[in-house]
Amino acid sequence: MEHTSELVTLKPAHSRSCSRSGQVICLDNVCKEFDGARKVTALDSINLHINRGEMVAIVGPSGSGKSTLLNLIGTLTVPTSGSIKIAGQRTDLLGDAALTRVRRDKIGFIFQFFNLLFSLNCLENIGLPLHLRGYSARKVRERSRELLDLVGLGHRLNHLPDELSGGERQRVAIARALAYDPPILLADEPTGNLDSVTGEGILALISDLQRRCGSTVVLVTHDDVVARIASRRIMLRDACIVKDERT
Amino acid sequence: MILLRLISWQYVRQHRLRSLLTTIGIVLGVGIFVGMHAAGASVLSALSTTIDRIAGKTQLQITSGEAGFPEEVLERVQSLREVAVAAPVIEAVVRSGVEREGNLLILGVDMTGDRSLREYDLEAGDQDIVDDPLVFLAQPDSLIVTRDFAQRNGFGVASKLTMETMEGERVFTIRGIMRPGGLGAAFGGNLGVMDIYAVQKFLGRGRRFDRIDVRLKDEHSLAEGQAALSNALGPGFQVDVPAARNRQFDSLLHVYSFMVNLSSLFALLIGLFLIHNTFAIAVSQRRSEIGILRALGASRRQVLALFMTESAIIGLVGSAAGIVLGSFIAKEMAGLIGNIMQAHYGIAERAHEVRFGAGLLAASIAMGMTTSILAALLPARNAALVDPARAVQRGSNQDISRGNSRGRSAAAGMFALLAVLCVFMGHSQVVFYAGYLSFVLAALLLAPTLSVWLSCSLRPLLTAVQPFEGRIAADSLIQAPRRTSGTVAALMLSVGLVVSMGGLSRGTFESVVDWVSSFLNSDLLVLASEDGTNRSFHFPDSVTASLASIDGVSDVQRMRSNKVTVKGASVLLVAIDMSTALARTSGRVVAGNFQQMYRLGAEGKGVIISENCGLLHNLGMGNTVEVPSPSGLVRLPVVGIVTDYLNQSGTVFVDYEAVYQPFWKDPTVDMYKVYLKQGVSEQSVKQQIQTKLSRQRRMFVMLNREVKARVMSNTRQWLGLSYIQIAVAMLVAALGIANTLLVAVTDRRREFAVVRAIGAFRNQVRKSVWLEATGLAAIGVTLGVAFGAIDLLYERQIVRHDYAGLTLNYDFPVLLVFLLGVGLIVTAWISCLAAAEMAARHSMVEALEYE
């Protein structure tokens, strides 16, 4: 808990901003189509509201639109129609720079393939988002150390991603996602590239951090075991939400 | 073939810009090679045709250096039983007096005998005049011109043409117009025919001829005739076939070919690195594709063949495009070579059409394809070594080039050691060039390692400037030597070439400045031709006394120069008044005692040679120099060696009175160095000379500063070549950096997407690409400067021993390096714009799923 208190000291005032209703993610009538040789509707009239501190699992078969939904929430892509609000801010109307600011301040990503920069060591990978926010080198180093300790890799400060196991890489990725203590954590198949034992450890870590930091976590998975850690399960099929259940 | 269509073609289609940039290196190399050689061959072929046209039915030509020989020689030739026809000739270059026409080659012939050698196919004019040489002779202002020249300028028979002669401007009358073809087509029509005795008179040639054209009797072979003429005339005369004149120009062209071949070689080397770079990246990017192919049953050999065929096709396409580029270059180069020829012969020979021989085309294609195949060899081998199991596994990595790096470092060390050993192993040419080659190879092999070291040392700086962008940029440079090494090597070579050539140019310039101030030290210079290089006009020696009698003149030094053959090579023989030179000049002595050499020279007991003459023709102090003269071979020892830049193949100085007059019997002068009494105004003496002498004869009087300015301006023009090299370096930098960064950006799509996903703005991504480009350029410039600094040492030796025979100071071109550094960094910024934009605008979603 002592780490958590440290984290709070680094938070900017707006990092905890939420809508009055307590909903941090609001999607209304969101559609996403891809133009190609033929038009593909990836998401059709999606209405989804996620409250602050919720842990939501998005499940569904391959091609059902899970990743597209996550990318829309993460502002990596914009909807064809409909409105999206992230922490009270309409993102479907924003330009690239404003979307970047939303990602930078409010969203942390955990990817299936970790997506660490192979040229940077653990400390530097975690420090990247902080450098982007203009933190001093000393502060970046201190904060990165704290986060590495938090995910149990305090002894791997200067190791390159190539020198880590899959589970360790994912821990570094999680630490990087938490670097600025974002109100929303998005995880795309966070255990998809790990063995079951390591995967369980990563899920436990995400759960633990979510509880300790109070972040909203949205994770995409096709694995029922993974989905079970969430308090809410949303099932997608053929571009539509077919089930939304709380456990 | 099917793999090529299904796999390679698809890849090329997806990476069009990169494929284009890769091929450009080959296009440039082949283009320069083809352009230069086609232009040279075309101009030489045009010149050869012209020489044949002027020679007509001439089988042998008799010459004795440029100074010519007395008329009596003609009788000796005509009396030989092997000779059927012997006709004297004077060739002179004069200003046509017509705007835009430049110079005319005036062929002075003896109409009584010349028509048995040359056909004057007249289409207009009074044929009787030419049929009856006496009529032509009786009118010394008669001139025959070509139809091309007449038509271009609206001349007809009886038109008047004003030309400069030694007697000032004279009006000549066109009395005949030659039909095109044959003699009428020589020098693009810029040719006039006059009576030889009129030419002697108007051009101040005295009773001398330049040449005798000979036709042998049918029963005697060429060899017999040549032997008989050589025996009869002695060693002071050259008896050769007309085509031999081409050789002179060929050797002149050789110097220029050396520079262009060097640029071509460098362009190809750069092309080689660009292709190597692209293939190395392609193998890395297509690893999973290769793995799938291998998993589906493709053998290692098939994978190797696939990449080698791709490279061969790139070579073929690049060569074909290079030939097209070369045809444009050839047209421009033909004009340039024509200008070089104009400087040499006075008349520009223009190649009306540029011809590409089958041999040249085949050589170009072979060169382009070989370069491309060599470049792809290592990456193709690495592709064949890809492990199919690991390649198809998402996210796994296989380092297939680690072994190469170790081997490369070992080879680099070995070559570096060899280069150092060669420095201490004596002065043999073979050892020197082996050392030079070892140095270049060591530098190229070390480039990737040095590049990583430099990138590491740049990291703190880049990170301090921009913590996020700088870190990303520096790490990209450090972590991907395979991506950057080709470009760094290409940049290093290119910058190194500019630095060493710039150093040579600076050294030459400084030496020329030094020489100009010591040799051209007279107050006034009086010249028979405006540019001082046209040796068609001469003063009679009587001008010497006239000049000396002018108020304020203290000393007059005569100078008569002409080309002679020494040890089989053409050198410049300069006859001067050695005693005046001793008193007035302060040349840089390379060997011998200044006082003694001029004293011995003035007594006719020796010659002074230029340093380049000694080095190029292996002549040292005390060696005997044999110079052919109309009176036989002049054998004199070398009594001194000085630095001199009058002629690039060497100069031999003899005394005008003690040696030149007795042997050449040529009482003419090309140039006077006029020294004034103290306190006398140069301008007033110049005016006096012009008033007293210029009205009587053709004469150009120049002040010392005007002469120096002209020499320095000519030198600067020549040195302008280094600016062309800077432009080539910039182009290489642009190509290399653009190529590398496009590759880098494609290679790092995922990385950019990650940093964008975690909150980097597009501008930050752009900035990191700019910083990477800056770093790349800075590394290339740093290594290039170091390479160039050492290369300059070697180049100085090459210039000294094999190229110009000159000892140049080691002059590092600091300003040039500064300008080049700034220029290359700006070029890097410009050439990375596309890559930066691509990096900033990649779809994050696509890139994050991309492996």
Out of B471, B479, B845, the one facing A77 most closely (by C-beta) is B845
Q: What three-state secondary structure class fits A162?
A: helix
pLDDT band at B392 (very low <50, low <70, confident <90, very high): low
Report the residue of chain A nearest B845, measured CA to CA: A76
Pairwise CB contact (< 8 Å): A132 & B750: no
Pairwise CB contact (< 8 Å): B761 & A97: yes
Burial B194-228 (b: 16+ CB within 10 A, else e): bbbbbbbbbbbbbebbbbbbbbbeeebeeeebbeb
Pairwise CB contact (< 8 Å): B475 & A77: no
Pairwise CB contact (< 8 Å): B757 & A131: no
Report the residue of chain B nearest A178, measured CA to CA: B758
- The yes-or-no verdict on residue B799 having pLDDT over 90 is no
pLDDT of residue B621: 93
Can you give A68-126 as a three-state secondary structure string? HHHHHHCCCCCCCEEEEEECCEECCCCCHHHHHHHHHHHEEEECCCCCCCCCCCHHHHH
Q: What is the DSSP string of B559-607?
A: EEEEEEEETTEEEEEEEE-HHHHHHH----EEES-HHHHHHHHHTTS-E
Cβ neighbours of A131 in B, within 8 Å: 467-468, 471
| Region at B675 (left for phi over 0; alpha for psi -120 to 50; beta for the rest) | beta
In the structure encoding, which two tokens stand for residue B338, read together? 């024509």
pLDDT of residue A43: 92
User: Which pLDDT tens digit goes with each residue over A11-45?
Assistant: 433 333 334 458 899 999 999 998 876 788 899 99
Mean of the pLDDT values across residues B800-810? 77
Mean pLDDT for all residues in chain A: 83
CA distance A81 to chain B (A): 18
pLDDT of residue A14: 36
pLDDT of residue B726: 65
- Percentage of chain B beyond pLDDT 70 is 84
Cβ neighbours of A128 in B, within 8 Å: 468, 755, 758
CA distance B20 to chain A (A): 27
Q: What three-state secondary structure class fits B45?
A: helix
Burial of A44 (0-12, 13-18, 19+ CB in 10 A): middle
Mean of the pLDDT values across residues B387-398? 57
Burial of B136 (0-12, 13-18, 19+ CB in 10 A): buried
Q: Tell me which of B533 and B423 has the higher pLDDT.
A: B423
Provide ipTM, 2 decimals: 0.78
Out of A100, A115, A176, the one facing B761 most closely (by C-beta) is A100
Q: What residues form DSSP beta bridges with A109? A: A186
User: Which pLDDT tens digit goes with each residue over B62-118?
Assistant: 988 777 888 889 999 989 999 988 999 988 878 777 777 667 788 888 877 777 777
Out of B395, B475, B761, the one facing A193 most closely (by C-beta) is B395
Degrees (nearest 5) of the Cα angle A65, A69, A75?
A: 145
pLDDT of residue A46: 92
Cβ neighbours of A71 in B, within 8 Å: 845
Pairwise CB contact (< 8 Å): B758 & A120: no
Mean of the pLDDT values across residues B9-19? 70
Q: What three-state secondary structure class fits B390?
A: helix
* Rounded Cα distance, B474 and B461, in Å: 9
- The yes-or-no verdict on residue B260 having pLDDT over 80 is no
Pairwise CB contact (< 8 Å): B759 & A113: no
Cβ contacts of residue B43 below 8 Å, gap of 6+? Answer: B253, B334, B337, B338, B341, B349, B350, B351
Query: For residue A213, how many C-alpha atoms fall within 13 Å in the half-sphere facing its CB?
Result: 32
- The yes-or-no verdict on residue B279 having pLDDT over 80 is no
* Rounded Cα distance, B598 and B575, in Å: 12
Cβ neighbours of A96 in B, within 8 Å: 761-762
Pairwise CB contact (< 8 Å): B478 & A119: yes
In the structure encoding, which two tokens stand for residue B178, read together? 């030659």
In angstroms, how far is the first alpha carbon of chain B from the final one?
27
pLDDT band at B404 (very low <50, low <70, confident <90, very high): low
In the structure encoding, which two tokens stand for residue A108, read together? 């942390």
Q: What residues form DSSP beta bridges with A84? A: A27
Pairwise CB contact (< 8 Å): A131 & B467: yes
Report the residue of chain B nearest A68, measured CA to CA: B845
pLDDT band at B534 (very low <50, low <70, confident <90, very high): low
The answer to whether the CB of B707 falls within 8 A of the CB of B525 is yes
CA distance B308 to chain A (A): 31
User: Which pLDDT tens digit goes with each residue over A41-61?
Assistant: 899 999 999 998 899 999 998
Domains of chain A: 2-17+53-63+100-246 (3.40.50.300)
Distances, alpha carbon B522 to alpha carbons B339, B525, B552, B687, in Å: 30, 7, 13, 16
Out of A103, A162, A193, the one facing B759 most closely (by C-beta) is A103
User: Which pLDDT tens digit goes with each residue over B16-51?
Assistant: 776 777 787 778 778 877 887 787 777 777 777 777
Pairwise CB contact (< 8 Å): B476 & A132: no
Pairwise CB contact (< 8 Å): A119 & B754: no
Out of A77, A105, A132, the one facing B468 most closely (by C-beta) is A132
User: Which pLDDT tens digit goes with each residue over A132-165?
Assistant: 888 888 898 999 999 899 888 888 888 988 888 8
Which of B61-75, B423-437, B523-537, B771-785 is modeled with the greatest confidence?
A: B771-785
pLDDT band at B696 (very low <50, low <70, confident <90, very high): low
Cβ neighbours of A74 in B, within 8 Å: 757
Pairwise CB contact (< 8 Å): B476 & A137: no
User: Which pLDDT tens digit goes with each residue over B728-768?
Assistant: 666 766 777 777 777 777 777 778 888 888 888 999 999 99
pLDDT of residue B503: 86
In angstroms, how far is the first alpha carbon of chain A from the final one?
27
| Region at B299 (left for phi over 0; alpha for psi -120 to 50; beta for the rest) | beta
pLDDT band at B692 (very low <50, low <70, confident <90, very high): confident
- Chain B interface, Cβ < 8 Å to A: 394-395, 397, 467-468, 471-472, 475-476, 478-479, 750-751, 753-762, 764, 843-845, 848, 851
Cβ neighbours of A129 in B, within 8 Å: 758-759
Mean of the pLDDT values across residues B356-384? 86
Cβ neighbours of A104 in B, within 8 Å: 758-760
Identify residue A90 by its one-letter amino acid code: R
pLDDT of residue A204: 87
Mean pLDDT for all residues in chain B: 81
CA distance A45 to chain B (A): 21
User: Which pLDDT tens digit goes with each residue over A185-210?
Assistant: 999 888 887 788 888 888 888 888 88
pLDDT of residue A5: 34
- The yes-or-no verdict on residue A121 having pLDDT over 90 is no
User: Which pLDDT tens digit goes with each residue over B611-647?
Assistant: 888 988 889 999 999 998 888 889 999 999 988 888 7
pTM over 0.80: no
Pairwise CB contact (< 8 Å): B845 & A96: no
Pairwise CB contact (< 8 Å): B759 & A133: yes
Q: Tell me which of A212 and B420 has the higher pLDDT.
A: B420
CA distance A132 to chain B (A): 6
Can you give B88-148 as a three-state secondary structure string? EEEEEEEECCCCCCCEEEEEEECHHHHCCCCCCCEEEECHHHHHCHHHHHHCCCEEEEEHH
pLDDT of residue A19: 44
User: Which pLDDT tens digit goes with each residue over B483-515?
Assistant: 677 778 878 887 888 888 888 888 878 877 777
Pairwise CB contact (< 8 Å): A119 & B758: no
CA distance A37 to chain B (A): 17
In the structure encoding, which two tokens stand for residue B5, read together? 């269509």
pLDDT of residue B107: 86
Distances, alpha carbon B172 to alpha carbons B93, B104, B154, B177, in Å: 15, 13, 15, 14
User: Between helices B244-285 and B481-519, what is the axis angle to 10°?
Assistant: 150
Which of B71-85, B123-137, B462-476 is modeled with the greatest confidence?
A: B71-85
CA distance B312 to chain A (A): 34
Distances, alpha carbon B403 to alpha carbons B354, B390, B407, in Å: 49, 18, 6
Query: For residue B369, how many C-alpha atoms fall within 13 Å in the half-sphere facing its CB?
Result: 14
CA distance B786 to chain A (A): 28
Cβ neighbours of A113 in B, within 8 Å: 394-395, 851
Report the residue of chain B nearest A130, measured CA to CA: B468
Q: How many CB atoms lie within 10 A of CB B766?
A: 20
User: Which pLDDT tens digit goes with each residue over B287-309?
Assistant: 777 877 777 777 788 888 888 88
Pairwise CB contact (< 8 Å): A97 & B762: yes
Which 8-state DSSP code applies to residue B68?
-
* Rounded Cα distance, B271 and B325, in Å: 15
Mean of the pLDDT values across residues B201-228? 88
pLDDT of residue B644: 84
* Rounded Cα distance, B667 and B662, in Å: 10
pLDDT of residue B622: 92
- Chain A interface, Cβ < 8 Å to B: 71, 74, 76-77, 96-97, 100-101, 103-105, 108-109, 111, 113, 115-120, 124, 128-129, 131-133, 137, 140, 162, 176, 193
Cβ neighbours of B759 in A, within 8 Å: 100-101, 103-105, 129, 132-133
pLDDT band at B398 (very low <50, low <70, confident <90, very high): very low
pLDDT of residue A20: 46
In the structure encoding, which two tokens stand for residue B282, read together? 């392609």
* Rounded Cα distance, B576 and B652, in Å: 10
- The yes-or-no verdict on residue A179 having pLDDT over 70 is yes
| Region at A134 (left for phi over 0; alpha for psi -120 to 50; beta for the rest) | left
- The yes-or-no verdict on residue B265 having pLDDT over 80 is no
* Rounded Cα distance, B333 and B325, in Å: 12
CA distance A229 to chain B (A): 25
pLDDT band at B827 (very low <50, low <70, confident <90, very high): confident
User: Between helices A137-150 and A166-177, what is the axis angle to 10°?
Assistant: 130
Report the residue of chain A nearest B748, measured CA to CA: A117
Any alpha helices (H) in chain A, and if so which ranges? 2-10, 66-73, 96-106, 122-132, 137-150, 166-177, 196-213, 224-227
Chains A, B: CB contacts under 8 A, how many?
73
Q: What is the DSSP string of B724-789?
A: HHHHHHHHHHHHHHHHHHHHHHHHTHHHHHHHHHTT--HHHHHHHHHHHHHHHHHHHHHHHHHHHH
Pairwise CB contact (< 8 Å): B394 & A113: yes
Least trusted range by pLDDT, from B671-680, B774-783, B830-839: B830-839
pLDDT of residue B438: 93
Degrees (nearest 5) of the Cα angle B420, B799, B806?
A: 120
Pairwise CB contact (< 8 Å): A100 & B751: no
Q: Tell me which of B471 and B258 has the higher pLDDT.
A: B471
Pairwise CB contact (< 8 Å): A100 & B759: yes
Cβ neighbours of A103 in B, within 8 Å: 757-759
* Rounded Cα distance, B115 and B182, in Å: 13
Distances, alpha carbon B332 to alpha carbons A64, A75, B28, B50, B800, in Å: 64, 57, 15, 21, 31
* Rounded Cα distance, A170 and A161, in Å: 10
pLDDT of residue B138: 64
* Rounded Cα distance, B506 and B518, in Å: 18
- The yes-or-no verdict on residue B401 having pLDDT over 70 is no
Q: What residues form DSSP beta bridges with B638? A: B607
pLDDT of residue B150: 86
User: Which pLDDT tens digit goes with each residue over B779-788?
Assistant: 989 999 999 9
pLDDT of residue B339: 66
pLDDT band at B320 (very low <50, low <70, confident <90, very high): very high
Least trusted range by pLDDT, from A80-84, A106-110, B747-751: B747-751
pLDDT band at A3 (very low <50, low <70, confident <90, very high): very low
Can you state the percent helix, strand and coil of chain B, rounding each to 5? Answer: 60, 15, 20
pLDDT band at A237 (very low <50, low <70, confident <90, very high): very high
pLDDT of residue B693: 77
